[in-house]
Every structure is written in C-alpha cells, then in structure tokens.
Amino acid sequence: MEKRTFFVVVALLMFIASKASLKTTVMDLTCEYLTNPIGIGCKQPRLSWKINTGQSNYVQTAYEIWTASSEKELKTKQNLIWSSGKISSSQSVNVVYEGPELISKQRVYWKVRIWGPDGKVSNWSEPAFWETGLLETTDWKATWITSPVDDSKFEKRPSPYFRAEFNVEKSVESARVYVSALGLYELYLNGKKIGNDFFTPGWTSYKNRIQYQTFDVTSFLKKENALGAILGSGWYRGNIGWSGNINYYGDRLALLAQLEIQYTDGSSEVITTDESWKVNTGAICESEIYNGETYDARLEPTGWDLSGYNDRDWKKVQVLDHSLENLIAPQGPPVRAIQKIDPVELLVTPEGDTVFDMGQNMVGWVRLMVNGKAGDKVVLKFAEVLDKDGNFYTANLRSAKATDTYFLKGNGNEVYEPHFTFHGFRFVKVEGYPGELSLDAVKGIVIHSDMKLTNSFTCSDSLINRLQKNILWGQKGNFLDVPTDCPQRDERMGWTGDAQVFSQTAAFNFDVAAFFTKWMADVAADQLPDGKVTNVVPDVLNGGGGATGWADVALVIPWNMYLAYGDKRILEVQYPSMKAWVEYMRKRAGDDLLWTEDWHFGDWLAYATNQSDYPGATTDKGFIATAYFRYSSSLLAKIAGIIGKTEDEKEYSQLSEGIKKAFNHEFVTPAGRLVSHTQTAYSLALAFDMLPDDLVPKAAKYLAEDVQSFGHLTTGFLGTPLLCEVLSNHGYDALAFMLLNRKEYPSWLYPVTQGATTIWERWDGQKPDGTFQDVGMNSFNHYAYGAIGSWLYTYVTGIGIDEDNPGYKHFYLAPHPGGGLTYAKTKFDSPYGVIVSGWKVNGENIEYQIEIPANTTATVILPDVALQDVSIDEDIEFRENGVQKEKDVRFELGSGKYTFTW
C-alpha cells in the first residue's frame, strides 16, 4: 500500500510539473526598447513584451494592458490611468500607449496579460514602468553656466569644475536631476559620481539637438549637500574632423543642471544652475578625444564635491546665453564600460619600449594601478599593431597623439582612469612607471554604447569563428554613441556609407533599434535644405555630402530597422528626410534619370589590378549612382505604401521603373554585359533589380565568371556586402563559399591569418611581408567589410526576414550546408524571443535543429532534398505537412523546437 501511494504521489508531482512547464508567462517588458526607463521624451511610447511558454504553436490572440501611477493602484485596479481592455491582436512588439496624454516627470507603471490560442488567459506580468523627462521647454528653470575664463584659444584647456551647496530640511520622497552640457560632463553629488554613463550628453547635431539625461538621486541626498560637475571639450569644442576643427560647435563649455526634489509632505523644491555657482580648475589639465588626457593628481581639489568645502578661491560662474529650445531626452543607449580585459603579455620591443599586449584590439582605455612619489610621471601611449620588427607602431594614427599622462600625488596606491577621451588599441606603451611593472599594473576597460548582444554564430571552422568575433569587436569598438568609421586615428566620425552597408549585420549582432533611432534623427537634422545628406553625421565637415551609397543611408537604415524590429514609426519619422534625398537625386540626374555628373566615393577601397589606381575607381561611379537612385526610389515607394501615402507610392514606383529603363539603355548591352564589367557592378545590378528578367541569368553568369577568373573578390565598400548574397541567390553558392574560405589576400580570412582581432579598413592593411598599407588611411578597426556577417546568418544558417511580416513575426529558416563546413549554428534573440537555426553533418545525413519563439511562425525551406527523405523529430507522419517545391521541401511551422534529418 505504501509503495502504491508513493507511485501515485510521484505521478501526481510529475503531472503538476508538466503542467507548470506549459504555463505561459509574459516577460521582458520594455518601453521604447528600454527596461524601466526614466527621462524618456516620447508622449506615445511603444510597449513590447515576450512570451515564455512550453506550448508549441503558441500564438497570442489578445492582450490587455493596465497603467497606473503606482504599483499599488496597478495591483488593485484603482485609479488606472489607462486600460486597453481586451484587444484581439497578436501584436506584442511596439504596441502604442493610447492613454491620456503624458506630462513631464510622470511615472507610469504598467503590466500586461495575454490570451492564447486555446482562449486561456495568462497571469499578469510583473509590473514595469517608464518615466517621462522634461517634455516642454518651459519645464526648464535652470540656466546655462560657464567659466568666466575664456580658454578657447589656450593650447591646453583644463577641465572646469563646477559646484554648489544646498540643504534639505524635509523628508524626501523622490529626487531627479536633469543635466546636460555644451561639451561632456561628469556629475557628482555628495562625493559620488552619478550614473555609470560616459561621454554624456552624447554626440548629436549640436546646432539642432542636445540631449539631456535624467538620474534618480533620491538615495544620494543628505541634510547638507554638494552638487558638482566636471566638463570636457569632447566633440563640442574639441579637435574633431580634419584640418584642426577646433571649436566646431562652440568655444565655451557650459553646464545645465536642474535638481527637483519631491518631499513626503507634498511640497517640492528645485535646485538649478545659476549665477550662485562657483567654478575652478583641477587635476584634469587637458582631455581631448584624439590626443588623450593629462591628469595631475597633485592638483585634485579634494572634497570639492562635498558640503563644507572651502571654495572661497573659486570664481563665480558666468551665465551663458544659450538656447534651451533644442534640448531633447536621450533616444539611444548610453556609452558604458561594458567589459574588462587583462593583458596577456608584458614585452620589451627591439627598440627597448615596455609594452602591454591586451590580446585584443579594443576601444576604451586602461586602468592604471601605480605607487610612487609625488610628481612621478607615467605616460601611456596606445597603438593597434606592432610593426614587422615587433616595435610599437602609431604612424596610422596620423595626428592623433593617443596619449594619457598621469602625475602621481604620492600617497600610496593610486588608480587612474581618464575621463573624456578614448583610444582604439591593442598595445599600450608605458613610460616612467615607478618600480617594476607587472601584468596587474593595467586593466583594459572596454566601452561602447550599451546595446544588448543578440546573436551568436559558430561553425566548424576556427578561422570563420574568429572572423565572427572580429565582426562583433568591430561593431563594439565603433558603435560609441554614433557609428564611427574607426576609433583610433584623428577621424572617428559617423560616416554614413559605412553605417548603411553594415546596418543589417549590426541588427543581427546587437539590439540597435534605439541606437539607430537616435542617429537617424541626426541624419535628418544635418540634412541640407536642398535634400543633400552629409557624408558624416553629426556633420563636422561643413556640409560635404551627396555621395551615392553614403547619403542613401537616409532610406537604407530606416528600412533595415523596420525589417529587423517591425518599427513602423522610424519610417514615419524619417519619411520627410527620405523623400528629400530622393528628390535631390532626381534634380541631380535630370530628365534622363541618369546620375552621372557629380563626384562620389564610388566603390571605396575596391581591389584594383593596378594598385596605384584611385580607391574605388574600378566601377563607373555614374553606374553606381544611378543604381542607388533606383534602389532608394524603390524603397521610398515601398515605405510610402506601408505608412499610407498612396499617391507617393504610385509616383515613386513610376520613378523607380523609369530609372531602371534609363539604366538599361545606358549601362547594359543586349547580351546582359555591363559597361562596368566588375563584381561590384553586377552585384549592384542584380541585388537592386536593375535588369529585365531575361538578362538576369546572363548577368549572374558574367559575375560568376569574373569571380572564377580572379579567384577572389575585387569589391570595395559598396560591392562587398552584396557579393556572396547575389552569388548564392543565383545558384553560385560554391563560389560564395570559396570567397568565404579563401585565406590569401584579398579575402575576409586573410586578416585573420595575420592575427587580426577586428575587421580592417583595407583588405591588405598588413601585407604578407609584415609591412603596412598607406599610413594615411589604414585603420585596423573598421567594421564595413564585416557586413559578410549578414550572409553567414541569413544564408549559411538561413534565418531570413519576411518583408510582409517584419520584426520576425514570420520568418524563413533556409539553411545551406556547404563550403566544407561540418556544422554551423546561429542563435538570435529576436524581438519575440530566441530563434535557433543550426545544422551539422552526421555521417551521410544532415541534422537540422531549429527553435521558433512563441507568437511567431516560420517557413522552413530545406534545400536540394526530396520530401520522402526528410524526417522531423523522428516522426515520419510529419511529412504530410511538407510540400515539395522544385528541389526544396517546405514546412509551415508554429513555435517550438524541431529536429529535421535528411
């Protein structure tokens, strides 16, 4: 009897456990792509959630959202701000808040529950919240303050330190500080740095938009308080761009801060920057993005950020007459210290330099640990590579000094990190270190915009795995508030061409929705009145722009963000900018619709048989410009249709077809040969649908023959992202895999064989004999060629976007084993949850494992296989759900985990 009871209990527990595993929960609530954000500037924020369930084929059939002013009211349904009611919809991404209009400084708590296909409702999610910032200019009571010392012409410009004291006499309910700067700032309250963000307020089109940040400082307040800030030149007035662009946006640093305190008795108080503040200089003697920082610890004004500090020798600030009209809440993720790296080796070069090898080309700085006498001077210099003899090499940094200098104060162990500079480096040369150096004297601090990592790709080839790591590191190193071209030399600008060709790969590897939302607003802000899009954004090159493939960022990135995240709003917001750029091209092309006259970068840094050729000279630039004119016009027509502008949809569809006709008349022979007989020309023509249907196979054959003839790629910035995709789409995947696997120059794996840990700017940045390319343009951290990543994820492992159901609401899983690989796998965290697509060769069979997240569906396409040879989860009967389509087998599947074998 006891034994029977035991088995009954076990069976019951197993039944309960199985039911629990099938329980559906709503999780990962976000608002505008952020978790519990404070200080947002959106009056109609979008809400998203993910679904965790053990049920297969789960589709949300309805949802309900509650919002309230407190968690208690949310729980009890008292005084709800807004209830959506039960909405019959499967939408769980970017659901627009439709309650009463939000006001400044309003915190809103929210939760959601959903109904499944069986009609059963889930439990309510855990509560989340968002909080608005200062939504109106009139909310600002603070004034801009600056130092009375005009140091704009000084050779070295020390950072100003600002401070003020105030008392708190009542019990505090909550406190927020809203802060911005002309320049960069670090904010301190009662001796503690506020927030873990760096390079605030961020880099925007400062003449049009300046961000402010919001911090919760409730727990920092005391009875007696000191609020302070340190400013750095940063992008605002530092050396940025070429030709010594000093003071590009302004010559005076300034601070704006507003601390709002809510007391438990219902009263409030506002502390602001005004003429009562004081200012002085301190230990930061100089801090510039390109050149580095000089810090003299002997000059630290100890206690300056604490109450009671003697500031009688400090100067009174000046109020700066600067507008508050262009202040905006942040739209993108902040820059943060994301990772720490220990050096792998301490070496002495043949020239006698002492150098740390961090083992990874990284972006950030090193934390220095040192003990010595007051006045001891330690100099840190940064480089990406050693030369062929093993010596420290900085020629490719051009005029950037990339040097941090620290003077010790001499009272025991000291730790130093710079404040307003960053470096791109793998190697650190140390001069003047007191005592004996060891590996624990420095630690690498990796910084970048705080984007969530969303992708992992692995395969059976270790070099390709290293390539994927290099792609990730290239993105991390260059996505530092704006998508820079490179992080080390005297440039570091937001080149539009690099960003647009890499944007699809970028959206796989990290969650870049908010990052690009912010940056694209600056693209529009810096766009010229005639529609010309600048070459770099924010623009620090005095309006230079209009280059094909670069300026088309105005359409390409919003379109790719729509595809990746289902974000319709970015299309709506950026539409005037998109339209203005297409109209600019129409004017420049003229009545014949051929854009052949203006200067362009072309297929930048393409391989040339004559190495003295101008970079990108191998493909006719008028050909490229007209192809992009057609492509952007066709995108604009699609986008117009999506956002309900039907007349524009018709107009730009007709324009697109007109350009295509003109292109074929001008650039294509009747046999399908292009006047520019290059890999880039054929890739553009085929990818952008430039050719009549009957010439497509012929053009694809010409492309394949060119690749076979060279035995390698010849493409540059514009052709490279398309090459393997086009070859694969037209039946030449063996050639695409050949290009991927090639280890000699030029190829993706050649830099890997040379020890690269990031993507290079040039195919041969370092030549086989160990010498370097032209020092005038030779970055070893330049992400553009990393766009091959998209082909690895979408073709090799086969995760494909469905344009008609963007954001992976429905997607394709179409793997392509090949290239000598024995396995490949991508694990991608989509807006709906994790998608897995991984195949491996198992003897004579291929095993393919997939995972489809809840509330989505997928079309599985198995290549070159007969339906009768496929089994799924060892269930032969499941074949009934498959459809043979020519050489492929297709299955329509809902959420769940599946294993195919054929």
> What are the tokens at 28?
């990962």
| Strand pairing class (128-132; 38-40) | parallel
What's phi and psi for 700, nearest 5 deg?
-60, -35
Rounded to whole angstroms, the Cα distance separating 832 from 808 reads 7
How far is residue 48 CA from its own chain's centroid? Answer: 20
CA 585 to chain CA centroid, nearest Å:
28
Q: How far is CA 795 from CA 753, 787, 815, in A?
A: 24, 13, 6
Q: CA–CA separation, 412 vs 138, rounded Å? A: 50
Q: How many CB atoms lie within 10 A of CB 48?
A: 21
Neighbours of 892 (CB within 10 A): 12
- Output DSSP code: residue 158: P
Residue showing tokens 């509560």: 127
Kindly report the number of other CB atoms within 10 A of residue 709's CB atom: 9
Which one is catalytic: 131, 649, 725, 761? 761
**Three-state secondary structure string covering 44-87:** CCEEEEEEECCCCCCCCCEEEEEEECCHHHHHHCCCCCEECCCE
Compute the distance between CA of residue 108 and CA of residue 74 in angstroms, rounded to an integer: 10
Q: Does residue 260 have an active-site annotation?
A: no
The pair phi, psi for residue 270, each rounded to 5°, is: -125, 125
613 Cβ partners below 8 Å, 6+ apart? none
Query: Using N-to-C axis directions, what is the helix angle for 513-526 and 553-565, rounded to 10°?
Result: 160
Q: How far apart are CA 796 and CA 706, in angstroms?
A: 23
Q: CA dihedral in degrees (10, 11, 15, 21; nearest 10)?
A: 50
Cα three-residue angle 479-773-788, rounded to 5 degrees: 45
Q: b/e for 202-225, b at 16 or more Cβ within 10 A?
A: bbbbbeebbbbbbbebeebbeeeb
For 407-469, give the secondary structure using H, E and C.
ECCCCCEEEECCCCCCEEEEEEEEECCCCCCCHHHEEEEEEEECCCECEEEEECCHHHHHHHH
Contacts of 774 (CB under 8 A, 6+ apart): none
Q: How far apart are CA 255 and CA 221, in angstroms?
A: 21
Distance, in Å, from the CA atom of 745 to the CA atom of 723, rounded to the nearest integer, reads 17
The dihedrals phi and psi of 560, each to the nearest 5 degrees, come to -65, -35
* DSSP string across 708-757: HHHSS----TTTHHHHHHHHHHTT-HHHHHHHHH--SSSSSHHHHHTT-S
| Residue where the block lists tokens 């976000």 | 30
Task: Give the relative orientation of helices 646-667 and 621-642 as an angle to the nearest 10 degrees.
Answer: 160
Radius of gyration in angstroms for the set of CA atoms belonging to the chain, rounded to a whole number: 29
Judge whether 491 counts as a catalytic residue: yes
Q: Are 445 and 382 spatial neighbours (Cβ–Cβ below 8 Å)? A: no
Write the secondary structure of 628-671 as one string of H (helix), E (strand) and C (coil).
Answer: HHHHHHHHHHHHHHHCCCHHHHHHHHHHHHHHHHHHHHHHECCC
Cα angle: 743, vertex 746, 747; to 5 degrees: 50
Kindly tell me the burial class for residue 12, based on how many C-beta atoms sit within 10 Å of its own C-beta (0-12, 13-18, 19 or more). exposed
Residue 504 in tokens:
């699809």
Question: Given 288, 491, 649, 851, which residue is catalytic?
Answer: 491
Assign 824 to helix, strand or coil.
strand
Q: Active-site residue numbers?
A: 491, 761
